Chains A and B, each alone.
Chain A
């Protein structure tokens, strides 16, 4: 178990900066195992970039790289994302 791991809530600011919306209450469906979780409840790792992982199967749900006024987001680990309007 990793003492460094955080909850999705820890990257609320980054996600809101990117999506211009509150994202921690959005519900994601993992493309690996099909589990659904609030983004705020998934596991966050900080490497060269940020990785959000499914708490059930460790699948990388999102990868985020920030640099020079732009951000790259890989969401292929998320089959779907449900955002309340």
Chain B
């Protein structure tokens, strides 16, 4: 039975977004919904570090101060959540993953991002390089709020937003694609919103 339409209900969506910026099945919002797989971690900055590990010639590790000393950039991107909301023109500040991987030698083709609280997500290495991804520490001109992943989160805007792992603490380079927290249980291994790759088999 098709769902009953509720007279006059439209939700709170923007209906003026250019269609070529809205992937199939998405609705544009002005809000920034907070979704989380677990409690918000609160790692003190003097205990925070970011590491590149795995199939690499050598480990790379930055403390918070060292991480902040890296060249960073401000950038504006659209983000698309698998739960169907999209938010356009979001402004972030962060360190490009290219910068973090500079000088790293690897034969690995995949990456697992790992986070405080145990969350993981997997992304092909080539989807994190050439300006496609950042470790972001600022949103909308302010330090990134803990509920949105602060002090730092991965940002991979061309894939569904569950890949933009909150509270990220490092990247593990791997030879094979290793399904992360959600990819192990129904969400698509790759997650391209433009091909509507939400679930296994899509």
Q: Which residues of A line the B interface, CB within 8 A?
A: 1-2, 4-5, 43, 45-49, 51, 53, 58, 60, 63-65, 67-68, 70-74
Looking at chain A's contact residues, the main secondary structure is strand
Chain B 95-122 residues near chain A, CB threshold 8 A:
117-118
Residues of B within 8 A of A4 (CB): 34, 36, 147
Contact of B199 with A67 in the complex, beta carbons under 8 Å: yes
A1, A2, A64, A67 interface centre (most CB from chain B within 10 Å):
A67
Q: Mark B68-83, 1 if CB is under 8 A from A, else 0.
A: 0000000000000111
Residue from A45, A64, A67, A72 within 8 A of B36 (CB atoms): A45
Binding site for A on B (CB under 8 A): 34-40, 81-83, 117-118, 147, 160-162, 181-182, 184-187, 198-200
Residue of A nearest to B35 (CB): A47
- The contact of B199 among A2, A63, A68, by CB within 8 Å, is A68
- Residue B37 contacts which of A1, A45, A68, A71 (CB distance < 8 angstroms)? A45
Q: Looking at A48, A65, A73, which has the most chain B CB atoms within 10 Å of its CB?
A: A48
Contact B38–A58 (Cβ < 8 Å): yes
Complex Cα gap A60–B185 (Å):
13
Query: What residues on B are CB-neighbors of A2 within 8 Å?
Result: 36, 39-40
Query: Do A65 and B186 touch across chains, with their CB atoms under 8 A apart?
Result: yes
Q: Is the CB of A45 within 8 A of B187?
A: no
Q: Which residue of B lies closest to A68 (CB)?
A: B199
Contact between chains at A48 and B38 (CB < 8 Å): no
B185 touching A63, Cβ below 8 Å: yes
Question: Given B40, B81, B200, which contacts A48 in the complex, CB threshold below 8 Å?
Answer: B81
CB distance from B25 to the nearest CB of A (A): 10
B82 contact from A45, A48, A64, Cβ within 8 A: A48
Q: Are B185 and A47 in contact (CB under 8 A)?
A: no
Query: Does B38 contact A45, Cβ atoms closer than 8 Å?
Result: yes
Residue of chain B at shortest CB distance from A50: B37
CB atoms of B35 and A48 under 8 A apart: yes
A4 and B81 CA atoms in complex are apart in Å by 18
Residues of the A chain whose Cβ atoms lie less than 8 Å from the Cβ of B184: 74
Please name the 10 residue pairs, one residue from A and one from B, whose CB atoms are nearest each other, closest first.
A72-B186, A65-B186, A47-B37, A48-B162, A74-B185, A67-B199, A47-B35, A63-B185, A51-B37, A72-B185
Most chain-A CB neighbours within 10 Å: which of B35, B82, B186? B186
